[in-house]
Structure 1
Amino acid sequence: MSIESEAAVAELDATLDRTQVSAELADELFGVVDLLEGSPALRRALTDPSTPTERRQGLAQGLLESRIDSAALGLVTEAVGKRLGHRALLDALERQAIRALLKVAQSEHRLDDVEDQLFRFGRLVDGDAALRAAITDRTASVERRVELVDALLSGRAAAETVRLAERAIGARDRNFARTLGGYVAEAATLRNRLIATVRVARPLELQQRDRLQNALARQVGREVALQEIVEPELLGGLRIELGDEVIEGTVAGRLDEVRRQFG
Protein backbone atom coordinates (compact mmCIF):
# COMPACT_ATOMS: atom_id res chain seq x y z
CA MET A 1 0.00 0.00 0.00
CA SER A 2 1.33 3.44 -0.96
CA ILE A 3 1.90 6.18 1.59
CA GLU A 4 -0.99 8.12 0.03
CA SER A 5 -3.33 5.12 0.35
CA GLU A 6 -2.26 4.55 3.96
CA ALA A 7 -3.04 8.17 4.78
CA ALA A 8 -6.45 7.85 3.11
CA VAL A 9 -7.27 4.72 5.09
CA ALA A 10 -6.19 6.41 8.33
CA GLU A 11 -8.52 9.32 7.58
CA LEU A 12 -11.41 6.93 6.92
CA ASP A 13 -10.61 5.14 10.19
CA ALA A 14 -10.87 8.48 11.98
CA THR A 15 -14.21 9.21 10.32
CA LEU A 16 -15.64 5.86 11.37
CA ASP A 17 -14.34 6.41 14.90
CA ARG A 18 -16.51 9.56 15.04
CA THR A 19 -19.55 7.75 13.64
CA GLN A 20 -22.34 6.01 15.54
CA VAL A 21 -21.69 2.44 14.41
CA SER A 22 -24.26 -0.31 13.96
CA ALA A 23 -24.61 -3.69 12.31
CA GLU A 24 -26.78 -1.98 9.69
CA LEU A 25 -23.97 0.43 8.83
CA ALA A 26 -21.60 -2.50 8.35
CA ASP A 27 -24.08 -4.34 6.13
CA GLU A 28 -24.63 -1.25 3.99
CA LEU A 29 -20.89 -0.85 3.47
CA PHE A 30 -20.54 -4.54 2.63
CA GLY A 31 -23.37 -4.07 0.13
CA VAL A 32 -21.56 -1.18 -1.55
CA VAL A 33 -18.39 -3.28 -1.80
CA ASP A 34 -20.37 -6.09 -3.44
CA LEU A 35 -22.02 -3.64 -5.83
CA LEU A 36 -18.67 -2.25 -6.91
CA GLU A 37 -17.12 -5.71 -7.08
CA GLY A 38 -19.76 -6.72 -9.60
CA SER A 39 -19.53 -3.57 -11.72
CA PRO A 40 -16.08 -2.89 -13.18
CA ALA A 41 -17.38 0.08 -15.16
CA LEU A 42 -18.71 1.75 -11.99
CA ARG A 43 -15.45 1.05 -10.15
CA ARG A 44 -13.51 2.71 -12.94
CA ALA A 45 -15.83 5.72 -12.96
CA LEU A 46 -15.48 6.21 -9.20
CA THR A 47 -11.69 5.89 -9.17
CA ASP A 48 -10.72 7.58 -12.45
CA PRO A 49 -8.05 10.14 -11.43
CA SER A 50 -8.80 12.22 -14.55
CA THR A 51 -12.36 12.85 -13.32
CA PRO A 52 -12.75 15.76 -10.88
CA THR A 53 -13.27 14.69 -7.28
CA GLU A 54 -16.63 16.48 -7.03
CA ARG A 55 -17.96 14.64 -10.08
CA ARG A 56 -16.91 11.24 -8.73
CA GLN A 57 -18.49 12.00 -5.38
CA GLY A 58 -21.64 13.28 -7.07
CA LEU A 59 -21.90 10.04 -9.02
CA ALA A 60 -21.63 8.00 -5.82
CA GLN A 61 -24.22 10.12 -4.05
CA GLY A 62 -26.66 10.03 -6.93
CA LEU A 63 -26.41 6.27 -7.17
CA LEU A 64 -26.52 5.44 -3.46
CA GLU A 65 -28.36 8.17 -1.54
CA SER A 66 -31.71 6.39 -1.83
CA ARG A 67 -30.21 2.99 -0.97
CA ILE A 68 -28.10 3.52 2.13
CA ASP A 69 -28.17 5.59 5.31
CA SER A 70 -26.42 8.95 5.55
CA ALA A 71 -23.59 7.57 7.72
CA ALA A 72 -22.68 4.91 5.15
CA LEU A 73 -23.11 7.39 2.30
CA GLY A 74 -20.75 9.82 4.02
CA LEU A 75 -18.05 7.18 4.35
CA VAL A 76 -18.44 6.07 0.73
CA THR A 77 -18.40 9.66 -0.53
CA GLU A 78 -15.27 10.41 1.47
CA ALA A 79 -13.57 7.24 0.19
CA VAL A 80 -14.43 8.07 -3.42
CA GLY A 81 -12.88 11.50 -2.90
CA LYS A 82 -9.53 9.92 -2.03
CA ARG A 83 -6.98 9.02 -4.68
CA LEU A 84 -7.53 5.28 -4.39
CA GLY A 85 -7.27 2.67 -7.12
CA HIS A 86 -9.96 0.09 -7.88
CA ARG A 87 -8.77 -2.49 -5.38
CA ALA A 88 -7.75 0.03 -2.75
CA LEU A 89 -11.24 1.55 -2.74
CA LEU A 90 -12.88 -1.83 -2.21
CA ASP A 91 -10.39 -2.73 0.51
CA ALA A 92 -10.90 0.61 2.27
CA LEU A 93 -14.69 0.24 2.37
CA GLU A 94 -14.49 -3.41 3.40
CA ARG A 95 -12.14 -2.42 6.22
CA GLN A 96 -14.59 0.13 7.57
CA ALA A 97 -17.44 -2.39 7.47
CA ILE A 98 -15.32 -4.86 9.45
CA ARG A 99 -14.27 -2.19 11.93
CA ALA A 100 -17.90 -1.12 12.34
CA LEU A 101 -18.93 -4.64 13.34
CA LEU A 102 -16.01 -5.00 15.73
CA LYS A 103 -16.75 -1.61 17.29
CA VAL A 104 -20.37 -2.71 17.82
CA ALA A 105 -19.04 -5.75 19.69
CA GLN A 106 -16.69 -3.50 21.65
CA SER A 107 -19.54 -1.19 22.67
CA GLU A 108 -21.50 -4.24 23.89
CA HIS A 109 -18.48 -5.53 25.88
CA ARG A 110 -18.09 -8.70 23.82
CA LEU A 111 -15.09 -7.90 21.64
CA ASP A 112 -12.96 -10.36 23.64
CA ASP A 113 -15.48 -13.09 22.86
CA VAL A 114 -15.64 -12.22 19.18
CA GLU A 115 -11.86 -12.19 18.87
CA ASP A 116 -11.57 -15.57 20.60
CA GLN A 117 -14.44 -17.11 18.62
CA LEU A 118 -12.99 -16.02 15.29
CA PHE A 119 -9.59 -17.40 16.22
CA ARG A 120 -10.98 -20.73 17.40
CA PHE A 121 -13.28 -21.12 14.40
CA GLY A 122 -10.35 -20.49 12.09
CA ARG A 123 -8.37 -23.18 13.89
CA LEU A 124 -11.31 -25.57 13.74
CA VAL A 125 -11.69 -25.13 9.99
CA ASP A 126 -7.95 -25.29 9.37
CA GLY A 127 -7.62 -28.51 11.36
CA ASP A 128 -10.52 -30.37 9.74
CA ALA A 129 -9.80 -31.26 6.11
CA ALA A 130 -13.41 -32.12 5.25
CA LEU A 131 -14.80 -28.95 6.81
CA ARG A 132 -12.09 -26.84 5.23
CA ALA A 133 -12.88 -28.31 1.82
CA ALA A 134 -16.61 -27.68 2.25
CA ILE A 135 -16.15 -24.05 3.32
CA THR A 136 -13.55 -23.17 0.70
CA ASP A 137 -15.06 -25.13 -2.21
CA ARG A 138 -15.36 -22.53 -4.98
CA THR A 139 -17.54 -24.86 -7.06
CA ALA A 140 -20.27 -24.52 -4.41
CA SER A 141 -22.28 -21.31 -4.23
CA VAL A 142 -21.41 -18.67 -1.65
CA GLU A 143 -24.97 -18.97 -0.32
CA ARG A 144 -24.56 -22.67 0.35
CA ARG A 145 -21.26 -22.17 2.16
CA VAL A 146 -22.71 -19.31 4.20
CA GLU A 147 -25.52 -21.65 5.27
CA LEU A 148 -22.88 -24.11 6.48
CA VAL A 149 -21.16 -21.41 8.55
CA ASP A 150 -24.52 -20.37 9.99
CA ALA A 151 -25.31 -23.95 10.96
CA LEU A 152 -21.99 -24.21 12.78
CA LEU A 153 -22.02 -20.84 14.55
CA SER A 154 -25.56 -19.52 14.95
CA GLY A 155 -26.66 -19.72 18.56
CA ARG A 156 -23.11 -20.63 19.61
CA ALA A 157 -21.25 -17.41 18.82
CA ALA A 158 -21.82 -13.67 18.94
CA ALA A 159 -23.76 -12.11 16.08
CA GLU A 160 -20.63 -10.22 14.95
CA THR A 161 -18.65 -13.47 14.84
CA VAL A 162 -21.27 -15.10 12.64
CA ARG A 163 -21.49 -12.12 10.29
CA LEU A 164 -17.73 -11.84 9.89
CA ALA A 165 -17.34 -15.57 9.32
CA GLU A 166 -20.03 -15.31 6.64
CA ARG A 167 -18.18 -12.44 5.05
CA ALA A 168 -14.92 -14.37 5.01
CA ILE A 169 -16.56 -16.93 2.72
CA GLY A 170 -16.37 -14.52 -0.20
CA ALA A 171 -13.00 -13.00 0.73
CA ARG A 172 -11.24 -11.53 -2.27
CA ASP A 173 -7.88 -13.01 -1.28
CA ARG A 174 -9.63 -16.42 -1.45
CA ASN A 175 -8.18 -17.67 1.82
CA PHE A 176 -10.76 -18.19 4.55
CA ALA A 177 -8.38 -18.79 7.46
CA ARG A 178 -6.15 -15.84 6.59
CA THR A 179 -9.20 -13.59 6.33
CA LEU A 180 -10.39 -14.62 9.80
CA GLY A 181 -6.88 -14.00 11.08
CA GLY A 182 -7.08 -10.47 9.68
CA TYR A 183 -10.32 -9.88 11.57
CA VAL A 184 -8.69 -11.12 14.78
CA ALA A 185 -5.75 -8.76 14.27
CA GLU A 186 -8.09 -5.84 13.67
CA ALA A 187 -9.98 -6.65 16.88
CA ALA A 188 -6.69 -6.53 18.77
CA THR A 189 -5.75 -3.23 17.12
CA LEU A 190 -8.97 -1.63 18.35
CA ARG A 191 -7.71 -2.16 21.88
CA ASN A 192 -4.09 -1.29 21.11
CA ARG A 193 -3.04 -4.89 21.63
CA LEU A 194 -0.62 -7.12 19.75
CA ILE A 195 -1.38 -10.75 18.93
CA ALA A 196 1.14 -13.38 19.97
CA THR A 197 0.54 -16.84 18.53
CA VAL A 198 2.01 -19.41 20.89
CA ARG A 199 2.49 -22.98 19.70
CA VAL A 200 2.98 -25.54 22.48
CA ALA A 201 3.11 -29.30 22.83
CA ARG A 202 0.73 -29.22 25.82
CA PRO A 203 -1.75 -26.58 26.99
CA LEU A 204 -0.21 -23.87 29.14
CA GLU A 205 -1.32 -23.60 32.73
CA LEU A 206 -2.97 -20.34 33.78
CA GLN A 207 0.11 -19.13 35.67
CA GLN A 208 2.34 -19.94 32.69
CA ARG A 209 0.06 -17.95 30.38
CA ASP A 210 0.07 -14.99 32.75
CA ARG A 211 3.87 -14.98 33.07
CA LEU A 212 4.37 -15.27 29.33
CA GLN A 213 1.81 -12.58 28.58
CA ASN A 214 3.38 -10.18 31.06
CA ALA A 215 6.90 -10.87 29.78
CA LEU A 216 5.90 -10.21 26.17
CA ALA A 217 4.02 -7.06 27.16
CA ARG A 218 7.14 -5.72 28.89
CA GLN A 219 9.20 -6.53 25.81
CA VAL A 220 6.97 -4.72 23.31
CA GLY A 221 5.66 -1.99 25.59
CA ARG A 222 1.97 -2.68 25.06
CA GLU A 223 -0.71 -5.22 25.96
CA VAL A 224 -0.38 -8.62 24.30
CA ALA A 225 -3.15 -11.14 23.59
CA LEU A 226 -2.08 -14.79 23.53
CA GLN A 227 -3.51 -17.21 20.99
CA GLU A 228 -2.52 -20.69 22.03
CA ILE A 229 -2.21 -23.56 19.54
CA VAL A 230 -1.49 -27.06 20.85
CA GLU A 231 0.70 -29.17 18.57
CA PRO A 232 1.89 -32.37 20.30
CA GLU A 233 4.49 -32.95 17.59
CA LEU A 234 6.50 -30.05 19.02
CA LEU A 235 7.42 -32.42 21.91
CA GLY A 236 8.04 -29.61 24.40
CA GLY A 237 8.87 -25.92 24.81
CA LEU A 238 7.06 -23.27 22.81
CA ARG A 239 7.21 -21.25 19.60
CA ILE A 240 6.07 -17.63 19.69
CA GLU A 241 5.06 -15.58 16.65
CA LEU A 242 4.75 -11.88 17.49
CA GLY A 243 4.38 -9.69 14.44
CA ASP A 244 7.34 -10.42 12.18
CA GLU A 245 9.38 -11.90 15.03
CA VAL A 246 9.55 -15.64 15.69
CA ILE A 247 10.99 -17.03 18.92
CA GLU A 248 11.77 -20.72 18.47
CA GLY A 249 12.01 -22.62 21.74
CA THR A 250 10.46 -26.00 20.98
CA VAL A 251 12.21 -29.35 21.38
CA ALA A 252 11.32 -30.23 17.78
CA GLY A 253 12.82 -26.95 16.60
CA ARG A 254 16.06 -27.56 18.46
CA LEU A 255 16.27 -31.09 17.06
CA ASP A 256 15.76 -29.72 13.54
CA GLU A 257 18.61 -27.26 14.13
CA VAL A 258 20.90 -30.09 15.27
CA ARG A 259 19.99 -32.09 12.17
CA ARG A 260 20.82 -29.12 9.94
CA GLN A 261 24.20 -28.70 11.60
CA PHE A 262 25.18 -32.35 11.47
CA GLY A 263 23.11 -33.60 8.56
Structure 2
Amino acid sequence: MRGVSRASLEEVTRRLDAVLESANAATLGHELFEVVSLLEQEHSLRRWLADQANPAESKSGLIGHLLESKVSPATIIVVSDIVQAKWSGTRDLVDAVEQAAVFATVAGVEGEQRLGELEDELFRFGRIVAAEPGLRSALTREGVAAEHKRTLVENLLSGKAGSATLALISQVVTRPRGRTLEQGIDHFGRLVAERAQRYVAVVRTAVPLSGAQQERLRNVLTQVYGRAIHLNIEVAPEIVGGLSIRVGDEVIDGTVAGRIAEVRRRLAG
Protein backbone atom coordinates (compact mmCIF):
# COMPACT_ATOMS: atom_id res chain seq x y z
CA MET A 1 0.00 0.00 0.00
CA ARG A 2 1.05 3.59 -0.63
CA GLY A 3 -0.02 7.11 0.18
CA VAL A 4 -3.28 7.49 2.03
CA SER A 5 -3.75 3.72 2.36
CA ARG A 6 -0.36 3.30 4.04
CA ALA A 7 -1.15 5.97 6.61
CA SER A 8 -4.58 4.45 7.26
CA LEU A 9 -3.08 0.97 7.66
CA GLU A 10 -0.65 2.20 10.30
CA GLU A 11 -3.47 3.87 12.23
CA VAL A 12 -5.89 0.93 12.16
CA THR A 13 -3.06 -1.42 13.19
CA ARG A 14 -2.34 0.78 16.19
CA ARG A 15 -6.02 0.68 17.13
CA LEU A 16 -6.09 -3.10 16.62
CA ASP A 17 -3.33 -3.46 19.19
CA ALA A 18 -5.51 -1.66 21.73
CA VAL A 19 -8.45 -3.99 21.02
CA LEU A 20 -6.23 -7.08 21.29
CA GLU A 21 -5.36 -6.21 24.87
CA SER A 22 -8.79 -7.41 26.03
CA ALA A 23 -10.19 -9.46 23.11
CA ASN A 24 -10.08 -13.20 22.47
CA ALA A 25 -7.42 -13.09 19.74
CA ALA A 26 -8.27 -16.42 18.11
CA THR A 27 -11.97 -15.55 17.89
CA LEU A 28 -11.19 -12.08 16.56
CA GLY A 29 -8.89 -13.50 13.89
CA HIS A 30 -11.47 -16.06 12.77
CA GLU A 31 -14.27 -13.50 12.60
CA LEU A 32 -12.14 -10.99 10.70
CA PHE A 33 -11.37 -13.65 8.09
CA GLU A 34 -15.14 -14.18 7.78
CA VAL A 35 -15.52 -10.45 7.13
CA VAL A 36 -12.86 -10.70 4.41
CA SER A 37 -14.94 -13.43 2.78
CA LEU A 38 -18.09 -11.29 3.03
CA LEU A 39 -16.39 -8.31 1.39
CA GLU A 40 -14.95 -10.50 -1.36
CA GLN A 41 -18.43 -11.78 -2.18
CA GLU A 42 -20.29 -8.47 -1.95
CA HIS A 43 -18.81 -6.24 -4.66
CA SER A 44 -21.25 -3.34 -4.18
CA LEU A 45 -20.73 -3.34 -0.41
CA ARG A 46 -16.97 -3.12 -0.54
CA ARG A 47 -17.07 -0.42 -3.24
CA TRP A 48 -19.43 1.67 -1.10
CA LEU A 49 -17.30 1.19 2.00
CA ALA A 50 -14.12 2.19 0.16
CA ASP A 51 -15.67 5.28 -1.45
CA GLN A 52 -14.18 8.30 0.33
CA ALA A 53 -17.22 10.38 -0.63
CA ASN A 54 -19.44 8.39 1.73
CA PRO A 55 -19.60 9.57 5.38
CA ALA A 56 -17.45 7.59 7.81
CA GLU A 57 -20.29 7.47 10.33
CA SER A 58 -22.61 5.90 7.76
CA LYS A 59 -20.04 3.23 6.95
CA SER A 60 -19.57 2.38 10.61
CA GLY A 61 -23.33 2.27 11.14
CA LEU A 62 -23.83 -0.08 8.20
CA ILE A 63 -21.11 -2.44 9.39
CA GLY A 64 -22.59 -2.46 12.87
CA HIS A 65 -26.00 -3.32 11.45
CA LEU A 66 -24.65 -6.10 9.19
CA LEU A 67 -22.43 -7.73 11.80
CA GLU A 68 -24.50 -7.25 14.95
CA SER A 69 -25.31 -10.59 16.64
CA LYS A 70 -23.05 -12.39 14.14
CA VAL A 71 -19.62 -11.51 15.55
CA SER A 72 -18.09 -10.31 18.79
CA PRO A 73 -18.07 -6.61 19.74
CA ALA A 74 -14.29 -6.56 19.27
CA THR A 75 -14.67 -7.54 15.63
CA ILE A 76 -17.25 -4.80 15.01
CA ILE A 77 -14.89 -2.25 16.57
CA VAL A 78 -11.95 -3.32 14.37
CA VAL A 79 -13.97 -3.44 11.15
CA SER A 80 -15.62 -0.09 11.95
CA ASP A 81 -12.19 1.48 12.41
CA ILE A 82 -11.08 0.10 9.06
CA VAL A 83 -14.10 1.20 7.03
CA GLN A 84 -13.97 4.69 8.52
CA ALA A 85 -10.37 5.12 7.38
CA LYS A 86 -9.45 6.42 3.93
CA TRP A 87 -8.33 3.90 1.28
CA SER A 88 -7.07 4.35 -2.25
CA GLY A 89 -9.26 1.50 -3.49
CA THR A 90 -11.39 -1.47 -2.53
CA ARG A 91 -8.45 -3.88 -2.60
CA ASP A 92 -6.59 -1.89 0.04
CA LEU A 93 -9.61 -1.91 2.34
CA VAL A 94 -10.06 -5.68 2.12
CA ASP A 95 -6.29 -6.21 2.49
CA ALA A 96 -6.42 -4.17 5.70
CA VAL A 97 -9.12 -6.43 7.14
CA GLU A 98 -7.09 -9.47 6.10
CA GLN A 99 -3.92 -8.12 7.72
CA ALA A 100 -5.85 -7.44 10.92
CA ALA A 101 -7.10 -11.04 10.79
CA VAL A 102 -3.56 -12.37 10.47
CA PHE A 103 -2.25 -10.15 13.27
CA ALA A 104 -5.08 -11.23 15.56
CA THR A 105 -4.53 -14.91 14.72
CA VAL A 106 -0.87 -14.73 15.70
CA ALA A 107 -1.42 -12.53 18.76
CA GLY A 108 -1.44 -15.54 21.10
CA VAL A 109 1.71 -16.84 19.46
CA GLU A 110 3.43 -13.52 20.14
CA GLY A 111 2.80 -13.98 23.83
CA GLU A 112 4.43 -17.41 23.69
CA GLN A 113 7.38 -16.03 21.69
CA ARG A 114 6.76 -18.60 18.96
CA LEU A 115 6.57 -16.32 15.94
CA GLY A 116 9.82 -17.77 14.60
CA GLU A 117 8.41 -21.28 14.81
CA LEU A 118 5.22 -20.14 13.07
CA GLU A 119 7.26 -18.65 10.22
CA ASP A 120 9.19 -21.92 9.94
CA GLU A 121 5.98 -23.98 9.90
CA LEU A 122 4.52 -21.87 7.08
CA PHE A 123 7.73 -22.13 5.08
CA ARG A 124 8.06 -25.89 5.56
CA PHE A 125 4.46 -26.46 4.48
CA GLY A 126 5.12 -24.45 1.35
CA ARG A 127 8.16 -26.58 0.52
CA ILE A 128 6.21 -29.80 1.13
CA VAL A 129 3.45 -28.67 -1.22
CA ALA A 130 5.99 -27.68 -3.87
CA ALA A 131 7.56 -31.15 -3.71
CA GLU A 132 4.23 -33.04 -3.82
CA PRO A 133 2.23 -32.23 -7.00
CA GLY A 134 -0.57 -34.60 -5.96
CA LEU A 135 -1.00 -32.86 -2.63
CA ARG A 136 -0.93 -29.44 -4.25
CA SER A 137 -3.58 -30.54 -6.72
CA ALA A 138 -5.82 -31.82 -3.92
CA LEU A 139 -5.53 -28.52 -2.06
CA THR A 140 -6.10 -26.25 -5.05
CA ARG A 141 -8.51 -28.19 -7.29
CA GLU A 142 -11.61 -26.18 -8.21
CA GLY A 143 -14.95 -27.70 -7.34
CA VAL A 144 -13.71 -29.37 -4.15
CA ALA A 145 -15.65 -28.24 -1.07
CA ALA A 146 -13.80 -25.87 1.24
CA GLU A 147 -14.62 -28.08 4.21
CA HIS A 148 -12.95 -31.04 2.51
CA LYS A 149 -9.80 -29.00 1.92
CA ARG A 150 -9.84 -27.74 5.49
CA THR A 151 -10.12 -31.30 6.81
CA LEU A 152 -7.19 -32.36 4.62
CA VAL A 153 -5.06 -29.54 6.05
CA GLU A 154 -6.04 -30.50 9.60
CA ASN A 155 -5.10 -34.15 8.97
CA LEU A 156 -1.76 -33.10 7.51
CA LEU A 157 -0.81 -30.70 10.31
CA SER A 158 -2.41 -32.27 13.37
CA GLY A 159 0.27 -32.58 16.04
CA LYS A 160 2.89 -31.09 13.70
CA ALA A 161 2.06 -27.39 13.76
CA GLY A 162 0.45 -24.85 16.05
CA SER A 163 -3.16 -23.67 15.92
CA ALA A 164 -2.19 -20.34 14.35
CA THR A 165 -0.34 -22.10 11.53
CA LEU A 166 -3.34 -24.35 10.96
CA ALA A 167 -5.69 -21.36 10.85
CA LEU A 168 -3.55 -19.42 8.37
CA ILE A 169 -2.92 -22.33 6.02
CA SER A 170 -6.60 -23.29 6.09
CA GLN A 171 -7.43 -19.73 5.08
CA VAL A 172 -4.92 -19.77 2.21
CA VAL A 173 -6.28 -23.07 0.93
CA THR A 174 -10.01 -22.34 1.21
CA ARG A 175 -10.04 -18.62 0.35
CA PRO A 176 -7.03 -17.82 -1.85
CA ARG A 177 -8.24 -14.37 -3.01
CA GLY A 178 -6.72 -14.82 -6.44
CA ARG A 179 -3.33 -15.93 -5.13
CA THR A 180 -1.67 -19.25 -5.86
CA LEU A 181 -1.13 -21.51 -2.86
CA GLU A 182 2.56 -20.60 -2.81
CA GLN A 183 1.83 -16.87 -3.06
CA GLY A 184 -0.69 -17.07 -0.24
CA ILE A 185 1.68 -18.87 2.12
CA ASP A 186 4.48 -16.44 1.23
CA HIS A 187 2.19 -13.44 1.79
CA PHE A 188 1.07 -14.61 5.22
CA GLY A 189 4.68 -15.43 6.09
CA ARG A 190 5.68 -11.85 5.29
CA LEU A 191 2.83 -10.51 7.44
CA VAL A 192 3.97 -12.67 10.36
CA ALA A 193 7.51 -11.35 9.90
CA GLU A 194 6.20 -7.79 9.75
CA ARG A 195 4.36 -8.37 13.01
CA ALA A 196 7.64 -9.54 14.50
CA GLN A 197 9.29 -6.41 13.05
CA ARG A 198 11.77 -8.30 10.94
CA TYR A 199 12.36 -9.33 7.34
CA VAL A 200 12.30 -12.85 5.91
CA ALA A 201 15.31 -14.01 3.89
CA VAL A 202 14.71 -17.06 1.72
CA VAL A 203 18.10 -18.72 1.36
CA ARG A 204 18.81 -21.41 -1.22
CA THR A 205 22.05 -23.31 -0.68
CA ALA A 206 23.65 -26.33 -2.33
CA VAL A 207 24.53 -27.87 1.04
CA PRO A 208 23.05 -27.46 4.55
CA LEU A 209 24.38 -24.53 6.60
CA SER A 210 25.70 -25.12 10.10
CA GLY A 211 24.23 -23.25 13.04
CA ALA A 212 27.29 -20.98 13.14
CA GLN A 213 27.02 -20.22 9.42
CA GLN A 214 23.33 -19.38 9.77
CA GLU A 215 24.07 -17.03 12.65
CA ARG A 216 26.82 -15.24 10.71
CA LEU A 217 24.55 -14.88 7.68
CA ARG A 218 21.71 -13.58 9.85
CA ASN A 219 24.02 -10.99 11.44
CA VAL A 220 25.32 -9.80 8.07
CA LEU A 221 21.83 -9.43 6.59
CA THR A 222 20.61 -7.65 9.72
CA GLN A 223 23.40 -5.09 9.26
CA VAL A 224 22.63 -4.70 5.55
CA TYR A 225 18.87 -4.22 5.94
CA GLY A 226 18.84 -2.53 9.34
CA ARG A 227 16.21 -4.89 10.68
CA ALA A 228 16.13 -8.32 12.31
CA ILE A 229 16.17 -11.16 9.78
CA HIS A 230 14.41 -14.53 9.89
CA LEU A 231 16.06 -17.17 7.71
CA ASN A 232 14.07 -19.68 5.68
CA ILE A 233 16.64 -22.11 4.31
CA GLU A 234 16.08 -24.42 1.35
CA VAL A 235 18.74 -26.96 0.35
CA ALA A 236 18.88 -27.05 -3.47
CA PRO A 237 21.76 -29.18 -4.85
CA GLU A 238 21.02 -27.98 -8.39
CA ILE A 239 22.55 -24.56 -7.68
CA VAL A 240 25.94 -26.37 -7.43
CA GLY A 241 27.56 -23.97 -4.96
CA GLY A 242 27.18 -20.61 -3.22
CA LEU A 243 24.00 -19.00 -1.95
CA SER A 244 20.91 -17.39 -3.40
CA ILE A 245 19.19 -14.98 -1.00
CA ARG A 246 15.81 -13.32 -1.53
CA VAL A 247 14.59 -10.58 0.79
CA GLY A 248 11.27 -9.25 -0.46
CA ASP A 249 11.68 -8.46 -4.15
CA GLU A 250 15.49 -8.23 -3.93
CA VAL A 251 17.57 -11.24 -4.94
CA ILE A 252 21.27 -11.69 -4.19
CA ASP A 253 22.47 -14.53 -6.39
CA GLY A 254 25.93 -15.80 -5.54
CA THR A 255 25.40 -19.32 -6.83
CA VAL A 256 27.51 -21.09 -9.44
CA ALA A 257 24.35 -21.84 -11.40
CA GLY A 258 23.40 -18.17 -11.27
CA ARG A 259 26.76 -17.04 -12.58
CA ILE A 260 26.64 -19.60 -15.39
CA ALA A 261 23.15 -18.41 -16.31
CA GLU A 262 24.35 -14.80 -16.38
CA VAL A 263 27.23 -15.70 -18.73
CA ARG A 264 24.77 -17.47 -21.03
CA ARG A 265 22.46 -14.43 -21.06
CA ARG A 266 25.35 -12.16 -22.01
CA LEU A 267 26.52 -14.50 -24.74
CA ALA A 268 23.01 -14.72 -26.13
CA GLY A 269 22.74 -10.93 -26.09
TM-score normalized by the length of structure 1: 0.93
Runs of 4+ in 1 over 4 A off after TM superposition: none
Of 90, 98, 101, the match for 2:102: 98
Cα distance between partner residues in 2 of 1:118 and 1:228? 12
Distance 2:57 2:219 in 1: 51
CA–CA distance in structure 1, aligned partners of residues 227 and 58 of structure 2 = 44
Give the distance between the partners of 1:34 and 1:209, measured in 2 at CA: 39
Q: 1:201 maps to which residue?
A: 206
1:204–1:4 CA distance, 2 compared to 1 (3 A): same
- Partners of 2:2 and 2:257 in 1: CA distance: 40
**Contact 1:46-1:59 at 8 Å conserved across structures:** no
Q: What is aligned with 1:13?
A: 13
Which residue is 1:136 aligned to? 140
Q: Which deviates further from its counterpart, 222-231 or 76-85? A: 76-85
Could you say if the C-alpha distance between residues 262 and 79 of structure 1 is closer, same or farther in structure 2, counting changes exceeding 3 Å? closer
Change (3 A) 1:215 1:44: closer
Q: Quick check: 1:66 aligned with 2:69?
A: yes
Write the mapping of 1:1-263 to structure 2, written as runs, cut at 5 A. Answer: 1-20=1-20, 21=23, 22-84=25-87, 85-169=89-173, 170-262=175-267
Question: Can you give the 5+ residue segments of structure 2 that lack an aligned partner in the other structure?
Answer: none
Cα shift at 1:244: 3.0
Which stretch has the larger CA shift, 85-94 or 148-157?
Answer: 85-94
User: Structure 1 residue 235: deviation in Å?
Assistant: 0.8
Q: CA deviation at 1:64?
A: 1.5
User: Identity rate of aligned residues, in percent?
Assistant: 40
Matched letter for residue 195 of structure 2: L
Q: 1:262, CA displacement in angstroms?
A: 4.3
> Aligned-pair distance for 1:254?
1.9
Q: Tell me how far apart the structure 2 counterparts of residues 101 and 121 of structure 1 sit (CA, whole Å).
A: 18
CA distance in 2, matches of 1:107, 1:61: 30
Q: Give the CA deviation at 1:88.
A: 2.4
Give the match's secondary structure for 2:219.
helix
2:245 is paired with a residue whose SS is strand
Distance in 1, matches of 2:40 and 2:92, equals 12
| Pair 1:158–1:43, CA change in 2 (3 A) | same
Q: Following the alignment from structure 2 to structure 1, what is the Cα–Cα distance between the partners of residues 3 and 48?
A: 23
Structure 1 runs not aligned, ≥5 long: none
Aligned residues: 263
| Offset from partner CA, 1:97-154 (integer Å, 9 cap, x none) | 0111122211122222111101110111122111111111123222221111111012
**Structure 2 vs 1, CA of residues 252 and 34 (structure 1 numbering), >3 Å: closer, same or farther?**
same
The code of the aligned residue for 2:180 comes to N
The 3-state SS of whatever aligns with 2:106 is helix
Q: Which moved more, 1:103-112 or 1:79-88?
A: 79-88
Please tell me the root mean square deviation across aligned C-alpha atoms, in Å: 1.7
